[in-house]
A and B are shown apart, each in its own frame.
Chain A
Amino acid sequence: MEAKSKKSGATRLCCLCNLRRPVLKRPKTLQQICRECFYEVFEEEIHQVIVQNRLFKSGERVAIGASGGKDSTVLAYVLSELNRRHNYGLDLFLLSIDEGITGYRDDSLETVKRNEVQYGLPLQIVSYKDLYGWTMDDIVKMIGLKNNCTFCGVFRRQALDRGAALLKVDKLVTGHNADDIAETVLLNILRGDIARLSRCTSITTGEDGPIPRCKPFKYTYEKEIVMYAYFKKLDYFSTECIYSPNAYRGFAREFIKDLERLRPRAILDIIKSGEDFRIATTTKMPEQGTCERCGYISSQKWCKACVLLEGLNRGLPKMGIGRPRGVNGDHKKETKKPGPAVKSIESKQCGSLDF
């Protein structure tokens, strides 16, 4: 599906403005366009997504999940720009999670600290060490390189919520892009998770939880984000997590890369399929309660983070991985334990922060 391209390069012009010389082929549409037009369509499309999906309200405090990677850097850049240009009226913050991965996270955190200065957005860092008493380095030493992504993902989700609570924000935005969401749709099909399949394409999630989160980059291609960062010379950290190579997501990612080469719009088509799947509403929601141990939102007796932590602390790394065994199937709704208002987050257990 090549865009019509003339053979003679000299007379070719950007097919959007017809004024300037094209310098790139747009990954999403294969149009040959100039740099300025690329910035314009890129930013405008994101603005339209924000407006049509009513992601924000004026006056909201919004935390941007910032890892220092390309997605979150571009997100911070574009969001502050659009906030200014279109008067969203938002109070923006950067929220970063330190998982404790030497040689990776400590480097990317430096990038976020620079972003704080470059974009003028206040930064909050929350660490696994403070929150859970374990760093990913410690965890990997204990459990090896399989299932480590499970631990990190579960812990990060809670860490973001706790960080958001510290910042007292109304909303969290993350840099999940179209490729990520397409991968997730495929993964959920491959793994039989129909409940997640019905939720994973929502642009806003967790409206009934502690902090709603949204993904303004839902329809933005990863390649375009990279392109934007490259042309704008944005400062970001570009290495893959050193613990990630064995993740199952890798299968889906490779496949999607091959697919994109054949048919760029397939990424959006996967997302569309995900949105259109006929899933009975009864299969969607697991019953929501709170964790007995820490008060965090949970559909089981203990939240996943507490289960995993318990496993780590007891030297049982497989606890919480694989099929649920034992008694964690109760759906008793418990009232939150009124824990002490914690100023410093310090304990081996999941803290008991009040939400």
Chain B
Amino acid sequence: MACNSTGCESGCYDREKDNGSKIVEDAVVTQESVCVKCKCNEPMTFGDGGSEDGRFCAECFRNNVFGKFRLAVTSHAMITPSDNVLVAFSGGSSSRVALQFVHELQIKALKNYEASRDRSLAVFGVGVAFVDETAAFPALSTEMIDAIEWIRSTVSSLSPPAKGLHVVPIESVFGSDSLDPRDRLVKLLDSVPDDTGKEDLLLHLKMLCLQKVASENGYNRLVVGSCTSRIASHVLTATVKGRGYSLSADIQHVDARWKVPIVLPLRDCVRQEITRLCLLDGLKTVELACRSQSGINDLVSSFVALLQEENPSRECTIVRTAAKLTPFYFNKIPETDDSNVPMATQRRLKRFNLKYDGSMTTEAFCPICNGPQNISDSSELDYFEEGQESDALYAACCSSCRFQILPQDGSSREQFGSFLPDHMISQVKHQKVNSQAYLREKIKDCLLLDDEEVV
């Protein structure tokens, strides 16, 4: 799928190239009578009004999408034989395709394993995680029961090799020893004044939940099915929320700032391809009506949809632009001397990681969104903010979370802090201690008194 010329704002050259949005009434044809790639099979028409309809045959189309997935996996060493991979599954089309493709990779690995004599390369393990958000959206409870049932049967149909399924309620992010976690979640969300902030906080909690499931069950990779289209929306939402600095951390193929690194193997596939693939392969999906209709995130989605109508490759251009931003040191699978990791993998990691410059600056991370922070950000007062608050949570958060998630006055903020999951709070303390210790290290030889640092 060619992404178009970027120099022309009027799109005059695009029209010739793509956007053949002729809606085909019956399953018969378009200009080509053979697939443009293999030149022998009949091309598929999806009749969905999208671009590139009726150009590829089913097989070539499928191979193209799977090919992008596989290229992402191999060139970023996302999944290697010794790994135990957890696929984050929402029931939507992207995560369904991610799950399907991971499963196919696994089958292939199993076949190779069984066929090889020395059984040197193990088959990576796969698990599936679904986060049940009923506590945040009580209206979903009946839908949810059916959805979970469907998920169970879908996952069990994807074997051999068998995959563990972990259905976790979102309130499990508070840990097993929290009293009435459901109630705590409701109180936490209710204390967020801004609608968009509430949505975003829920996303951060969901990620923490997935991380918890992954690390407690021995997984060392978390596969998230984010596609190009979702990332394009994220680029714009991050921009309008003032998160330009941390943007490049969120949109790479690998995000290793978490305990269990996140990988995005479908990053180079657009939603249209994914939807079409689901149609082609009969992959069922379920969309739970979780989203509210009023915030910034929805405004941006509608905006991107509008831009797509005007030019179907806009999403690709947006992501391509953002991909030119400098990533962070954690945007790659960390190299390891672990003897369990095959040499081939280690070599590939070394070769790929050369792309990033070795500057391992220690970043401070926002305890809520885990975004890396610009050093000047934390010390600077916001443009029209009135006083400087002294509580640690406020100081540790990025300016975007301070505005849209933290309550405005001191006492509500304290209460809010008490509802947050322990993991986030420990990040606050960790950050504070870290920077003090770091500074002390630098000036230690000039300090006369041997004061202990009081945390």
Binding site for B on A (CB under 8 A): 1, 28-29, 146-147, 150, 185-194, 197, 219, 246, 248, 251, 255, 258-259, 262-263, 265-266, 268-270, 272-280, 283, 318, 321-324
Query: Shortest beta-carbon distance, B250 to chain A, in Å?
Result: 12
Query: Complex formed: what's the CA distance from A207 to B8 in Å?
Result: 28
B303 cross-chain contacts in A, Cβ below 8 A: 251, 255, 258
How many residue pairs between the two chains, A and B, have CB atoms under 8 Å in the bound complex?
123
Given A266-B241, A277-B325: 6 more A-B contacts, CB < 8 Å: A1-B193, A248-B10, A270-B242, A273-B239, A276-B244, A278-B325
Residues of A within 8 A of B122 (CB): none
Q: Is the CB of B384 within 8 A of A28?
A: yes
**B299 at the binding interface (Cβ < 8 Å):** yes
A28, A186, A191, A246: the one contacting B239 at CB < 8 Å is A186
Partner of A191, one of B9, B243, B310, B403: B9
Question: 9 smallest A-B Cβ distances: which pairs?
Answer: A273-B244, A269-B242, A192-B6, A276-B245, A322-B8, A276-B244, A278-B326, A273-B239, A194-B324
A256 and chain B: residue at smallest CB distance: B240
The answer to whether A146 touches B241 (Cβ under 8 A) is no
Give chain A residues whose Cβ lies under 8 Å from the Cβ of B241.
Answer: 266, 269, 273
A242 to chain B, nearest CB (A): 18
Task: A228 to B425: give the CA distance in the assembly, Å.
Answer: 45
Shortest beta-carbon distance, B154 to chain A, in Å? 37
Q: Are B10 and A273 in contact (CB under 8 A)?
A: no
Q: How far is the CA of A323 from the CA of B244 in the complex (A)?
A: 28
From 240 to 276 in chain B, residues with beta carbon under 8 angstroms from any chain A beta carbon are 240-245, 247-248
- Per the bound structure, the CA–CA distance linking A263 and B299 in Å amounts to 11
Contact B317–A269 (Cβ < 8 Å):
no
- Which A residues are in CB contact (< 8 Å) with B12? 146-147, 318, 321-322
CA distance A281 to B93 in the complex (A): 39
CB neighbours (8 Å) of B318 from chain A are 189-190
With most chain A CB atoms within 10 A of its CB, the pick from B9, B247, B321, B325 is B9
Contact A251 B310 (CB under 8 A): yes
9 contacts between A and B (CB under 8 A): A255-B303, A258-B303, A259-B240, A263-B194, A269-B239, A273-B241, A278-B245, A279-B324, A322-B12
Q: Which residues of B contact A273 (CB under 8 A)?
A: 238-245, 247
| Smallest beta-carbon distance B17→chain A, Å | 12
A193 to B5, CA, bound (A): 11
> Is there contact, CB below 8 Å, between B321 and A194?
yes
Contact with A along B7-35 (1 / 0, CB 8 A): 11110110000000000000000000000
Instruction: Specify which chain B residues have a CB less than 8 angstroms from the CB of A269 in the assembled complex.
Output: 239-242, 400
Asked if B325 and A150 sit within 8 Å, CB to CB, the answer is: no
Cα–Cα, bound, A105→B423 (Å): 61
**Is there an interface contact between B296 and A190, defined as CB atoms closer than 8 Å?**
no
Q: How far is the CA of A266 from the CA of B404 in the complex (A)?
A: 11
User: Chain B residue with minimal CB distance to A145?
Assistant: B10
Question: Which residues does chain A contribute within 8 Å of B314, judged by CB atoms?
Answer: 190
Q: Given known contacts A28-B384, A276-B374, A283-B324, is B296 in contact with A262 (CB within 8 Å)?
A: yes
Is the beta-carbon distance between B296 and A193 smaller than 8 angstroms? no
Q: Is the CB of A185 within 8 A of B9?
A: no
Question: What is the CA–CA distance of A263 and B193 in the complex, to the nearest angstrom?
Answer: 13
Q: Given A262-B296, A276-B374, is A189 in contact with B236 using a C-beta cutoff of 8 Å?
A: yes
Contacts of B6 in A (CB 8 A): 191-193
Contacts of B248 in A (CB 8 A): 277-278
> Is B235 part of the contact surface with A, judged by Cβ < 8 Å?
yes
Nearest to B298 among chain A residues (CB) is A262
Give the residue of A146, A194, A272 whose beta carbon is less than 8 angstroms from that of B242. A272
Asked if residues B299 and A189 are in contact (CB atoms below 8 Å), the reply is no
A283 cross-chain contacts in B, Cβ below 8 A: 324
> How many Å from the CB of A42 to the closest CB on chain B?
13
Please judge, given known A-B contacts A190-B307, A193-B6, A276-B374, whether A270 and B324 are in contact too, CB under 8 Å. no
| Contacts known (A262-B299, A276-B245, A278-B248); A322 close to B240, Cβ less than 8 A | no
Within 8 Å of chain A (Cβ to Cβ): is B161? no
**Residue of B236, B320, B321 with most chain A CB atoms under a 10 A cut-off:** B321
B378 at the interface (CB under 8 A from A): no
Give the distance to chain B from A217, nearest Cβ to Cβ, in Å: 14
CA distance A219 to B239 in the complex (A): 16
Q: How far is the CA of A262 from the CA of B383 in the complex (A)?
A: 19
Instruction: Tell me whether B295 is interfacial, beta carbon within 8 Å.
Output: yes
List residues of chain B with CB within 8 A of the CB of A263.
Answer: 194, 196, 296
Bound-state Cα–Cα, A318 to B40, Å: 39
B327-350, CB under 8 A of A: which get 1 and which 0?
000000000000000000000000
Question: Are the C-beta atoms of B7 and A197 separated by less than 8 Å?
Answer: no
Given A146-B10, A322-B12, answer yes or no on A197-B321 (Cβ-Cβ < 8 Å). yes
CB pair B239–A189 under 8 Å, yes or no, is yes
B310 contacts across to A, CB distance below 8 A: 251
Chain A residues whose CB sits within 8 angstroms of the CB of B10 once the complex forms: 146-147, 246, 248, 321
Inter-subunit contact B317/A191 (CB<8 Å): yes
Report B-chain residues with C-beta under 8 Å of the C-beta of A274.
Answer: 239, 244
Instruction: Closest B residue to A321 by CB, please name it.
Output: B8
- Interface residue B322 (Cβ < 8 Å from any Cβ of A): yes
CB contacts (< 8 Å) of B7 on chain A: these are 191, 322-324
Taking the closest CB of chain B, its distance from the CB of A269, in whole angstroms, is 3
Please tell me if B306 contacts chain A, counting CB pairs below 8 Å.
yes
Could you tell me the distance in whole angstroms from the C-beta of A199 to the nearest C-beta in chain B? 14
Min CB–CB distance A219 → chain B (angstroms)? 7
Query: Who on chain A is nearest to B321 by CB?
Result: A192
Q: Which residue in A188, A192, A279, A323 is a CB contact (below 8 Å) of B326?
A: A279
Nearest Cβ in chain B — how far from A3, in angstroms? Answer: 11
**Distance from B164 Cβ to chain A, minimum over Cβ atoms (Å):** 38
**A272 to chain B: closest residue by CB:** B242
Interface contact A277-B403, CB-CB below 8 Å? no
A residues in contact with B196, CB < 8 Å: 262-263
